[in-house]
A and B are shown apart, each in its own frame.
Chain A
């Protein structure tokens, strides 16, 4: 790769307001490292603490989605080692809003379930999302889930409903790109 090409990529990221990005195979150690660096960066620029906590939380939930579910995965023959591919971007829009965006491949068979789940919480406000989260946590773990099945609800809640998603099929239609963006107002009022 030529230096000029890398600089092009870097300036493209900057044009989109992206301050933190990671594109590649992710594991839990990388998540911990990104978490520490992100917290340091947010503290250095004196970001409001409530906002910092929401950004951090959304980053953790989104990266853990990649680590657990991304359909672009490499595993060892014995199944012991496994890493999954995803693209995380954290930054700030020109209007001051922070964003945490994550993209990864999902299986075609999961497209409908994920889409329906997200559409079902689309209109809920923070209060309703908090109640729904408790209800979800009280259920038994869904069979497809390696966590609590409450990650999307947590992200929607932390962003006060300011989030969006896109699912785009790959060319061969075997899989789909799933992209979730959560946004955070810097002057969120207390409720």
Chain B
């Protein structure tokens, strides 16, 4: 049985929630850890083994990031590549990229990263105005 994961946010690391029952992954908040590869290793290992073990499931990924640095961007694009691989293997994957309405930069980055996705579905959603 794959265990759920819930990592709370800090000033510089995001909340990470992986619910294998609901089949959802959420990454929300800030991301500029001292070592992003180390920070994301444990949750991503669990998520990758979950993805690897099935080929006909529905999984939703939600990214709701305020800021991420360039080393976190490396982790994110690797994740997008794994998502695409898993979608090619038959999983139905839905990626939701949430941004502030005035954050054209975050929208631009989401659109750019989404170029890795063709079998997985990608959508940008804007937060409601304050």
Chain A interface residues toward B at CB < 8 A: 28, 31-32, 35-36, 49-50, 53-54, 56-57, 60-61, 64, 130-131, 133-134, 137-138, 141, 146-148, 150-151, 153-154, 158, 190-191
A-B contact pairs, 27 of them (CB 8 A): A32-B11, A49-B102, A49-B103, A54-B105, A60-B67, A61-B69, A61-B70, A64-B32, A130-B108, A131-B112, A133-B70, A133-B73, A133-B112, A134-B112, A137-B74, A137-B77, A138-B116, A141-B74, A147-B69, A147-B71, A147-B74, A148-B70, A148-B71, A151-B69, A151-B71, A153-B70, A154-B70
* Residue from A49, A53, A148, A190 with most neighbouring chain B CB atoms (10 Å): A148
Chain B interface residues toward A at CB < 8 A: 11-12, 32, 34-36, 67, 69-71, 73-74, 77, 81, 100, 102-105, 108-109, 112-113, 115-116
Q: Is the CB of B69 within 8 A of A50?
A: no
Chain B interface SS verdict (over half)? helix
Q: Is the CB of B103 within 8 A of A57?
A: no
Chain B residues lying within 8 Å of A61, measured Cβ to Cβ, are 69-70
CA distance A31 to B102 in the complex (A): 26
Q: Is the CB of A28 within 8 A of B34?
A: yes
Chain B residues lying within 8 Å of A35, measured Cβ to Cβ, are 11-12, 32
Add 5 more A-B contacts to A133-B73, A134-B112, A134-B113 (CB < 8 A).
A32-B11, A57-B67, A130-B108, A138-B81, A147-B36
Chain A interface SS verdict (over half)? helix
Q: Which of chain A's residues has its CB closest to B113's CB?
A: A134
B20 shortest CB reach to chain A, Å: 28
* Residue from B70, B73, B109 with most neighbouring chain A CB atoms (10 Å): B70
Q: Is the CB of A50 within 8 A of B67?
A: no
Chain B residues lying within 8 Å of A147, measured Cβ to Cβ, are 36, 69-71, 74
CA distance A191 to B112 in the complex (A): 14
Chain B residues lying within 8 Å of A50, measured Cβ to Cβ, are 102-105
Q: Is the CB of A53 within 8 A of B77?
A: no
Chain A residues lying within 8 Å of B73, measured Cβ to Cβ, are 133, 137, 148, 150, 154
* One of A32, A54, A60 near B69 (C-beta < 8 A): A60
CA distance A138 to B104 in the complex (A): 22
Chain A residues lying within 8 Å of B69, measured Cβ to Cβ, are 57, 60-61, 64, 147, 151, 154
Q: Is the CB of A36 within 8 A of B11?
A: yes
Across the A-B interface, give the 3 residue pairs with the lowest CB-CB distance, nearest first.
Answer: A148-B74, A147-B71, A150-B70
Q: Is the CB of B11 within 8 A of A191?
A: no
Chain A residues lying within 8 Å of B32, measured Cβ to Cβ, are 31, 35, 60, 64
Q: Is the CB of B74 within 8 A of A53?
A: no
Q: Which of chain A's residues has its CB closest to B76's CB?
A: A137
Chain B residues lying within 8 Å of A131, measured Cβ to Cβ, are 112
A191 shortest CB reach to chain B, Å: 7
Chain A residues lying within 8 Å of B104, measured Cβ to Cβ, are 50, 190-191
Chain A residues lying within 8 Å of B81, measured Cβ to Cβ, are 138
